[in-house]
Amino acid sequence: MNTALVAAAPRHVISLRSIAGRIGLLPALLVMLVAGMSAVDAQFYGIINVLNILRNASLLAIVACGQALVIIAGGFDLSVGAVVALASVVTAKTMAATSAAFPGSNGLIIASGVAAGLGCGVVVGLVNGFCVARLKVSGFVVTLGTMSATAGVGLMITNGIPVYGMPELFVKGFGRAQALGLPTAAHVALIVILAMVFAQRRTLFGRYVYAIGGNVDAAVVSGVSIRRHIVGTYVVSSVLAALTGILLTAQVGSGQASFGGDRMMLQSIAAAVIGGVSLRGGVGRIEIVAVSALFLTILGNALNLLHVDSRLQPVFLGVIMVAAVALDELSRRSKPRV
């Protein structure tokens, strides 16, 4: 156990240094973007737009946190978008069924719906983790398979039709509510980010995830139980995706199999990668990933406000992604190897 920490330590130092450079870059870009947009368009800092940005950024940040954890451990989770959809549909269906059986008992209805939604996340995460850790199938292929299967189940349950019948309390009192001026999703996202930052820095799980991603062989030799921790990362990722699905459901007021999808999955990977998570594993910080989710959301919002053709917008995202990673790669090359 001790050796694991020692083995992880040098890697940690490197990651700190490379991230120090990045802390300068991403927030600087973010500030420039915000300042520029505020100067150009007063609508940008209007309360409605700010709330809108916060809501979308929170949802993306929650998914991206889970995605980042999986990538840090050296994996991939293509199934997150599909899990968002499945959790949304299952939550809505369960609530509708429970409220038909026990009309009026809001506590029970909401608890059962949320539990069922999160349960979906746990199941998909366990399947992913089991296939990757036990059966040793590549994470890319496994989650490609579960992505298709999960999306299929979501559509099967609903036939593609939105599911209604959730209690008012869940939609108006939770999903669309604002406490302290912030939307519910922002509160949840803050809690998730803080918990993940704590887990990454102060818990064995977090440190072992770095160790596994940094050097699997060293982690094995140091006695880290690889399988359990890899399963853990996939479960966390799927549960966070399910949580996003539930929040989205509460906000919109219906369960829809079209939530999430490929777009959410690709964006979560983009947020993680732009936020400095290395696809080689072992490097990455949740708080930077959250900043990068905020950056991506504001960028999309700015492009909308500037009336950039929505069809052209993916081009910007693509160029920024490649540029961010290429810069990171080049700066790594120019540094002496430790």
Partner 1 sequence: MSDLELTVVTKDTDRPKLALGRRLWNAVLPVALAVLLLGFAAVDHGVLSPANLLNIAQQTSYLALFAMAQTVVILTRGFDLALGPTVSMVSVGSALAMAGATASGHGAAAVLLAGLGAGFALGIACGLFNGVVVALLGVNPFVATLGSYNIAIGIATTLSSGRPVQGVPAPFSQIFYSGSIFGVPAAIAITVAVGAGLHLLLARTVFGRSLYLIGTNPRAAAVAGLPVKRILVATYVLCSGLAALGAIMMTARTGSGEPNLGGALSLQAIAGAVVGGTSLAGGRGGVGTAVLGALFITILSNGMNLTRIDGYVQMVVLGAIVIVGVLLDRLRQERSQ
Chain residues binding partner 1 by CB under 8 A are 76, 131, 135-138, 140-142, 144-153, 155-156, 159, 266, 269-270, 273, 279-280, 309, 311-319, 321-322, 325-326, 329-330, 333
Q: Which of 180, 178, 195 is nearest to 239 (CA)?
A: 195
CB nearer to partner 1: pick between 140 and 198: 140
CB of 320 vs partner 1, minimal distance in Å: 8
User: Closer CB to partner 1, residue 180 or residue 311?
Assistant: 311
CA 199 – CA 229 distance, rounded (Å): 13
Nearest approach in angstroms of CB 278 to partner 1 is 8
Half-sphere exposure of 248 (CA within 13 A, CB side): 32
Q: In sequence order, which residues have a C-beta less than 8 Å from that of residue 127 and are 6 or more positions away?
A: 146
Q: How far is the CB of 128 from partner 1 (least distance, A)?
A: 10
Q: Is the dihedral angle over the CA atoms 250, 179, 29, 335 positive or is it negative?
A: negative
CB of 1 to partner 1, least distance (A): 29
Q: Alpha helices, DSSP H only, in 130-225?
A: 139-158, 168-170, 184-202, 204-214, 216-221
Choice between 167 and 275, CB closer to partner 1? 275
DSSP strand E in 117-188: where?
178-179, 182-183
Closest by CA to 328, choosing from 11, 22, 72, 26, is 22
* Closer residue to partner 1, CB minimum distance, 220 or 321: 321
Place of tokens 């946190």: 65
Nearest distance in Å: CB 106, partner 1: 32
Cβ atoms within 10 Å of 210's Cβ, excluding its own: 23
Please, which residue, 62 or 86, has the CB nearer to partner 1?
Answer: 86
What's the min distance (Å) between Cβ of 105 and partner 1? 32
Distance, CA of 142 to CA of 125 (rounded, Å): 11
- Taking the complex as a whole, the smallest distance from the CB of residue 65 to partner 1 amounts, in Å, to 19
Give the nearer residue to partner 1 in terms of CB position, either 177 or 325. Answer: 325
233: number of Cβ within 10 Å: 31
CB of 47 or CB of 135, closer to partner 1: 135
